[in-house]
Chain A
Amino acid sequence: MLRTQTLYDRQIALFFLSVVPFTKFFTLPSLTAGISGNDMWISAILNLVLDIVTVLIVLSACKKSNVDFFGLIENIFGKVGGKIVLILYAIFFLLKGFIPICEQKDYVVLTMYLALPKIAMFLPFFVLAVYLCCKRLRVIGRLSDVLFIPTVIGFVLLMALTIPNLEMGALLPIGLSGAKNIFKASYSSLNWYGDCVYLLFFIGRFKREKRSNLKIIIAYIVAGLMVVVFSLFFYATFSSLAFRKKFALTEISKYTTVINNIGRFDFIAIFLILFSSAFATIMPIYFACMLLQRALPLKKHYIYPLILSLLIMILMFGLNEYFASLESFFTGIAGIIFLIFSNLLPIVLALSTGFRVPNNKRYRGDKDNSIRKRDGEINDNVGVDNGENFSIVKGGKQNEIQKD
């Protein structure tokens, strides 16, 4: 059995299944439908192909990795340069997380609190965010095991309720909106996609088995297909109205006769999906905290979660009136930022280094460089020796991670 701070490949696969699809079920379908119309599903496929290619390259290139993401950055850019890169990545994650959090806020406040829609209703989300961001990576692994079940049940139930009202002919003719609009919709969606970047944090931190890469890739593909199926069903349900249906998640299943007769029991599925998406939305804050803790370590590990959650909350409240402008920024020029940090940089890092650093050049760090000074927490470098023993360098001391 591995030491508790490491993950299993199964957990990473389930992580992607539980995290990748659900942030894309809120306002993204209407956004892409507004640009590429009945070809919105092609735009989704393009985004997913980009992500899957990134996952493939990173996983393939890192088969013999002997260093994790933090170690690699520090080895390439040095101590100060590495910190700057990590801070930049943290900013990227905050940007990546902002719009999905805002749209989830809108969803919860506007669809569930119709009588009194107040932003304060969403405050508990940030309590959950602070709590989760204080947890270690292995907790995320365990969480993935748990989230997988509601994820699958919720998605299957929702799609099953949608099927009777589908008019798949609405998707025809294929390619009508033109390549320009299809690519434009893909570009505008970059904020929501690019979850492959999370893989960087798992490199060197999970036990590689015979078919680890295959499991992770298949999970990512399945998660991607869930998004494509949702896009197809969404357009087949609303066709010419799709671009106006801001909250696809609530709207898509309610036209079934059984819902008309019995009531909105589809909210069971919606709640299950919301359960997963709440965690999925927190993930960018989580990794931003991890990056900042690594770049600028603090003794109190809850400080960064608190600061970042408060920051997002204040920005969300403060910029509420400017949301339309923000959305236009995030779906416009900011797309380049998401493309670079989510896809291009991981590919370049993986291809150029293979997450492998020569032992004689390995940057060891020092005591100040250790991240969370708690027992069992991963520190500077996590290496793999012949695929058998993991070694951790902690403050210059090497501990063996034993494997059963």
Chain B
Amino acid sequence: MKFKKTKFIALCLVAVFVFFFSNDFGIIDIEKTAIITAVAIDITDNGEYEVTAQIAVPEATDANTENKKAQISGTGSTVASAVKNIGDISGWFPSLSFCNIIIVGNKVAQDNVIKVLDYFSNTLRMQDSALVILSEKDAKSVLTTSTPLDNISSFALQKIIYKNPGFDNDITHTDIKTFCVGYYSYTKSAIMPMVKIIKETEDNDSVNGGGGGTNSGLGSGSASSESGASSGGGSSSSGGGSSGDSSSGASGSGNESSNSNKGSTLFDARTTALFYDGKLVGSLLPHQTLAYNMLKSSFAGTTIEVTGVKQGLKTANYLLTAIRTTPKIKVFADENSVNLDLSVNVYCRLADENTKESGNKYLNSSTLPYEVIERAEEQLTDAFSELIEISKQTGCDFLELKKQIYRHQHKYYAKYKDEFFNALNVSVNVKVSGQK
């Protein structure tokens, strides 16, 4: 009898644990659930928030391999009420658990963008590890655009932003948490990638994205997709040179057999939007974004285009692959000024050149010509100087220079926090090397 009692109690205990540690009570009907994969936020003319949710529609069939999608918009006086309205008008429970991208419309970014991102940062309904992207125009158009990469445009965007190792590191990415951490920090500075939709001509409907070449050349002119990219940053690209037709940071959209979109569209996210105190204050052009990534993240495998290399009377262009980069940013303050010592060592390999006589220079063991090294150093130095200049002009401390003073020389922080960039003495030292 006692044994039965023990067994009964043990069974009860197991049942308790099953209830306690499982989510069985939380089961909801999949047919009534909207699995939101991305959210676009705009402001309507009457000042309301318009939230457009891209919804993946699960189907119990393996006949169709393509993802089905739907876009539903809801409006409200706050972002949360707009999300709620999506559920109200669709009858679907808006599940944000799988939402990996939030696209912010340009109009939203003119005001304090934290007004919309705070909800996503605080709510437990959504992971705040979701990417945040700024749309060059309205956010909704990014979601409604079709691409051949994936029927669901947000998935295509993820492919661009979350690149596999080996791709060029020419795009910045920010999640909700990182953006909010920057905003709420003493620097009030944050960044996010800016996505542009580029419509190509109808007769050129082939897919150009991916391996079509690279236009990540530092100091090179802006790509064709760049018109009106830089806002407020006051930056200017240095050096001249060629520009590629497409980029590694662009997703092509062209030969869509199943879609009615005749013209091709491209997503380009190589521009980086800069925010200070929650407002859009400027942007980094693609070559500046590349320079920024060189300082802030893993850069190995990324290609650097070196243009206008003078070799005697001729000029040539080179493509270098960065094998190793060692950036060092040292900021130290004294009673009179703040000194920034920025040094980068780049070890490169020759990837390509447009000279007639390339010979055996494609070999890994080939040394870099002196002119190429000199030109590469010049371009990189210019790019880093531009970054600092943009930082000065916008007030956005995206290089986290103030942070170093705040953390390591806090006694000077109060003195320089308001006129930090005015007191900044900059020293940029770039060293490019190859096989010796």
Contacts and interface: CB of A to CB of B under 8 A. Distances in A.
A271 B406 CA distance: 38
Contacts of B13: 128, 131
A240 B127 contact: no
A244 interface: yes
Nearest to A121: B25
Given A110-B124, A115-B28, A128-B13, A172 B408 contact: yes
B26 A113 contact: yes
A255 B16 contact: no
A334 interface: no
Interface in B75-118: 93, 95, 97, 100
Interface in A281-303: none
Contact of A169 (B28, B95, B175, B407): B407
Contacts, number: 76
Most A Cβ at <10 Å: residue of B17, B26, B121: B26
Interface string A100-137: 00000000101111111010010011011001000000
A274 B177 contact: no
B328 interface: no
A257 to B, nearest CB: 9
Chain A interface SS verdict (over half): helix
A269 to B, nearest CB: 13
A18 B125 CA distance: 30
Interface residues of A, number: 35
A83 B132 CA distance: 61
A176 interface: yes
Contacts of A176: 410
A271 B175 contact: no
Given A125-B20, A127-B16, A241-B121, A116 B408 contact: no
A7 to B, nearest CB: 22
B185 A108 contact: no
B423 interface: no
B416 to A, nearest CB: 15
A339 to B, nearest CB: 32
A234 interface: no
Interface string A256-280: 0001100000000001001100100
B185 A240 contact: yes
Interface string B171-190: 00001010011001110000
A358 interface: no
B370 interface: no
Contact of A124 (B19, B177, B180, B185): B19
Given A127-B12, A254-B129, A173 B28 contact: no
Nearest to A237: B177
A247 interface: yes
A115 B93 contact: yes
Interface in B397-428: 403, 406-408, 410
A238 interface: yes
Given A127-B16, A128-B16, A131-B13, A255 B26 contact: no
A128 B20 contact: yes
A114 B124 contact: yes
B3 interface: no
A239 interface: yes
B122 interface: yes
Chain B interface SS verdict (over half): helix
A203 to B, nearest CB: 30
A338 B122 CA distance: 31
A322 B288 CA distance: 53
A260 B121 contact: no
A239 B16 contact: no
A238 B124 contact: no
Contacts of A251: 128
A250 B129 CA distance: 12
A247 B25 CA distance: 21
Contacts of A112: 23, 26
B177 A255 contact: yes
A111 B20 contact: no
A255 B129 contact: yes
Nearest to A111: B124
Contacts of B121: 241, 244
Contacts of B16: 124, 127-128
B21 A274 contact: yes
A113 B122 CA distance: 17
B9 A131 contact: yes
Nearest to A175: B410
B125 A114 contact: yes
Most B Cβ at <10 Å: residue of A241, A250, A271: A241
Interface string A210-254: 000000000000000000000000000011110010010011001
Contacts of B180: 241
Contacts of B127: 254
Contacts of A110: 124
A394 B16 CA distance: 36
Nearest to B403: A169
Contact of B181 (A127, A131, A238, A275): A238
Interface in A170-192: 172-173, 176
B56 to A, nearest CB: 15
Given A127-B12, A241-B181, A113 B23 contact: yes
Interface in A5-59: none
A241 B184 contact: yes
A247 B124 contact: yes
Interface in B1-20: 9, 12-13, 16-17, 19-20
B33 to A, nearest CB: 9
B172 to A, nearest CB: 16
A275 B21 contact: yes
Given A112-B23, A238-B181, A239-B185, A172 B125 contact: no
A241 B177 contact: yes
Nearest to A128: B16
A27 to B, nearest CB: 13
Interface in B214-243: none
Most A Cβ at <10 Å: residue of B97, B125, B177, B403: B177
B204 to A, nearest CB: 35
A124 B406 CA distance: 49
Interface in B193-225: none
Nearest to B180: A241
A113 to B, nearest CB: 5
Contacts of B408: 172-173
A108 B13 CA distance: 18
11 contacts: A113-B26, A115-B28, A125-B20, A128-B20, A173-B407, A173-B408, A240-B186, A254-B129, A255-B129, A260-B129, A271-B21
Interface of B: 9, 12-13, 16-17, 19-21, 23, 25-26, 28, 93, 95, 97, 100, 121-122, 124-125, 127-129, 162, 175, 177, 180-181, 184-186, 403, 406-408, 410
Given A244-B122, A271-B21, 5 more contacts: A114-B124, A114-B125, A239-B181, A241-B180, A260-B162
5 closest A-B pairs by beta carbon, nearest first, are: A172-B407, A240-B184, A124-B16, A240-B185, A173-B410
